[in-house]
Structure 1
Amino acid sequence: MTKDQFLTRLLSRRRALLAGAAAVGAAGTAGLFAAGTGDTPKRPVLPAAAPPARRPLKPSAYRLQPLTGYGPPRAAPRRTLVRHEPLLKVSGRGRTMVLTFDDGPDPRYTPDILDTLAEYDVRAMFFVCGEMAVGNKDLLTRMSDEGHTVGNHTWSHPLLTRLSRGRIRSEMERTCDVIEEAYGERPQWFRAPYGAWNRAAFQLGAELGMEPLAWTVDTLDWTAPAARTIVGRVENGAAPGVVVLSHDAGGDRSQSVRALRDYLPQLLDSGYHITVPRRHYA
């Protein structure tokens, strides 16, 4: 076989191989469009489309997204126990006492009382009336900032035993709303005006999440005695767990302001710890 004949055969075989490969490729491609029976072409199966990309949330929207899977489940809040009589004393370590002030806030006397408490780094309780608080919200804000406890003393200081259940609820609820707005949280304690409690007051107070607190030592400062008389009543009644009742509104309370300046340092020097009570849930 000559060289030319050999080259001619080689090229012919190469063309045949290329033609066969092209035919196989065409058949495979046709299989993608015409499979099964009949000649109707079918569209190729494509992978599922990815979900559309989520638009980024605005910074404020992130706060609306619930967080799940982090930390223990939140327990339902416990209901406040419905008591049949108010608490008179508080528990605490050592010689613990509580100072309470009713009927305010009054811009003529409450700031001076707060100044004295701040001077000795002491916390107290203020049972406020809604009609006084609504015009002196800055004083409630100060009480909150300085760590004092604000309680509910009704809206207009009525005798609850003469009111309907609906009126009692209104007196309490309106005051709760004002306290929450100015103080930052709803009150956890309430005190009936004149110490006049009834079943409705206990039940409604519990429904609003409040514990009833009365007092152990009454300074009777509402009768406007001399400051030294108020000081004597506090010092004679001082004992562990005692709750002292004074007033920062409802009349001339200048003697109450002066008395606090005298008996507070004496109580501290005698080893008493002046504090605010903690809630004890049932």
Structure 2
Amino acid sequence: MLSHHQMISRRLLLSIAGVTVLSTGACGPPAGNPSDASHSGPPSDTLPSAAKPDGAPGAHPAPAASRTGSPAANTPGPPPGPAKPQPVTDPLLELDASERTIALTLDDGPHPTHTPVVLELLRSHGIRATFFLIGENAAEYPALVRAIAGEGHHIGNHTWTHPDLRHLPEPQVHDELERTSDLLQGLSGRPVTWFRAPGGDWADVTLRVCAELGMRPMGWSVDPRDWDRPGTAQITSRVLEGVRPGSIVLNHDGGGDRSQTVDALHTYLPALLADGYRFTTPQ
């Protein structure tokens, strides 16, 4: 049996222990209080940064700019997507008529006989022209393509085989244009930015593919029909009578015998220069 003194000591120890247990339980959340439920999980330092609220210890708050909807400074954005195709436009038929300028264009080359003569003539008059080249001709005479580019002339796409594009399915139209642009850019070192449909026969699919490949369509406003070989005098008179400020003149340096065209160029180029016209290449 415990003595009176031992019983008092035991009661005192139990009383002290009870206070300790109660004190420890007061540090936890009151039972049934949902507002403090977050404190029942792990400390905020152990949460993944994405789950931590802004300002919590160890959190990585988003840059202020990103919270306002603007890109954060020095924060790389998403990688750029593919270049958007140019909008489909109608063919360019004339230049700005407010200036006394005209554009000379030559189709169906390069030709081993006529193209070098035309280049020499243009060089002698200080004229820059636009050559719409056929892909299969360019593949056969790559040195002439480089010579045209080297003289500072513009090079345009005139398809690979010179077909009537109106009767071709879209994949074939795409092939005709893309193959030619790839070759011409490889030979000249410059992107091809202009396209001309053979015969000026435009179709919606042609204009769409032209835009998808980053080119613009160019037609003409003066056609002396030199491709039909009507004679040097006819070609010359048709050009001189048809030209006005802003005209785009169509001639051919390939596709057959173009000696009449070359002779006409010898006559009407100096006449137009003497009349105050300036030759340009559409940009």
Decide: shared fold, TM above 0.5.
yes
Deviations 1:209-266 (A, max 9, x none): 1000000000101111111111101100110110000101111100101100100000
In 1, the alpha carbon distance for the partners of 2:188 and 2:204 equals 28
Please name the residue that 1:6 is paired with: none
1:215 match: secondary structure: coil
**Structure 2 counterpart of 1:109, from 97, 109, 114:** 114
Shift of 1:92: 6.5
Shift of 1:93: 5.6
1:146 aligns with 2:151: yes
CA shift in 2, pair 1:264/1:78, >3 Å: farther
**Structure 2 counterpart of 1:124, from 114, 129, 137:** 129
Please name the residue that 2:224 is paired with: 219
TM-score (structure 2 length as normaliser): 0.69
Q: What amino acid is aligned across from residue 88 of structure 2 in structure 1?
A: V
**Structure 2 counterpart of 1:82, from 88, 92, 97:** 88
1:103 match: secondary structure: strand
How many residue pairs get aligned? The number is 204
Shift of 1:78: 6.8
**Structure 2 counterpart of 1:275, from 266, 280, 283:** 280
Shift of 1:79: 4.2
In 1, the alpha carbon distance for the partners of 2:249 and 2:182 equals 26
- Alignment of structure 1 residues 1-282 onto 2, 5 Å: 79-83=85-89, 85-91=90-96, 94-278=99-283
In 1, the alpha carbon distance for the partners of 2:144 and 2:275 equals 30
TM-score (structure 1 length as normaliser): 0.70
Structure 1 segments unaligned to the other structure (5+ residues): 1-73
In 2, the alpha carbon distance for the partners of 1:219 and 1:212 equals 20
* 4+ residue runs over 4 A deviation: 76-79
In 2, the alpha carbon distance for the partners of 1:140 and 1:208 equals 20
Deviations 1:86-128 (A, max 9, x none): 1100127621100000011001100101110000010001000
1:134 match: secondary structure: helix
- For the 8 Å contact 2:85–2:213, the answer to whether it is kept is no
Shift of 1:81: 2.1
RMSD over equivalenced CA pairs, Å: 1.7
In 2, the alpha carbon distance for the partners of 1:204 and 1:277 equals 20
CA shift in 2, pair 1:112/1:174, >3 Å: same
Identity %: 44
- For the 8 Å contact 2:135–2:183, the answer to whether it is kept is yes
Please name the residue that 1:64 is paired with: none
Shift of 1:178: 1.0
Please name the residue that 1:35 is paired with: none
In 1, the alpha carbon distance for the partners of 2:212 and 2:156 equals 15
Q: What amino acid is aligned across from residue 207 of structure 2 in structure 1?
A: F
In 2, the alpha carbon distance for the partners of 1:213 and 1:194 equals 12
In 1, the alpha carbon distance for the partners of 2:143 and 2:97 equals 31
- For the 8 Å contact 2:155–2:192, the answer to whether it is kept is yes
Shift of 1:136: 1.1
